[in-house]
Amino acid sequence: MKQEKGFTLIELMIVMSIVAILLTIAQPMYRDSKLRAQEAVLMENLFTLRDVIDQFYVDKARYPDSLEELTSSSYIRGIPRDPFTGSAEDWQMIPPPEGQEGSIYDVHSGSDRLAIDGTPYNEW
């Protein structure tokens, strides 16, 4: 009698169950890693914008009137986009202290979402 090669239905169902369990475990970790990556991009973009604003202030003794002024003055090639709003137009501009020239002293995210640690992104 010739022995047939292949997998039985039970063996295939066991393998499929194991794969489903592994995917169930991995999916939340993937979601968290994606969120952490977006947070890292936001932190880097905020650091870059704040650094460029400070450089502008040191050079011109005033703060910029808009983020576009930073690009037109060649301090930065382009305004980075907020990874949570998906736009370069949604940054919250914080005005300088009274008595200072210019319109932008600091920037924050335009997102109203909460970070993994529970702090709002627009307070970073």
Closest CA to 40 of 101, 121, 123: 121
In a domain, 3, yes or no: no
In a domain, 1, yes or no: no
Closest CA to 39 of 78, 82, 94: 82
Token pair 């986009």: residue: 81
In a domain, 85, yes or no: yes
Give the range of the structural domain holding residue 15, as residue numbers without chain letter.
Answer: 10-113
CATH number at residue 50: 3.30.700
CA distance 25 to 27: 6
Express each pLDDT in 66-122 by its tens digit.
999 999 999 999 999 999 999 999 999 999 999 889 999 999 999 999 999 999 999
Q: What is the pLDDT confidence band of residue 2, given thresholds at 50, 70 and 90? A: low
In a domain, 28, yes or no: yes
Beta-sheet strands, E only, within 63-116: 92-94, 106-108
Is the whole model's pTM more than 0.85, yes or no? Answer: no
Total domains in the chain come to 1
How many other CB atoms sit within 10 Å of the CB of residue 56? Answer: 20
In a domain, 66, yes or no: yes
Residues in Cβ contact with 2 at an 8 Å cutoff, skipping those fewer than 6 apart: none
In a domain, 43, yes or no: yes
**Predicted pLDDT of residue 1:** 60
Contact between 115 and 121 (Cβ < 8 Å): yes
Express each pLDDT in 20-70 by its tens digit.
999 998 888 888 888 999 999 999 999 999 999 999 999 999 999 999 999
In a domain, 47, yes or no: yes
In a domain, 119, yes or no: no
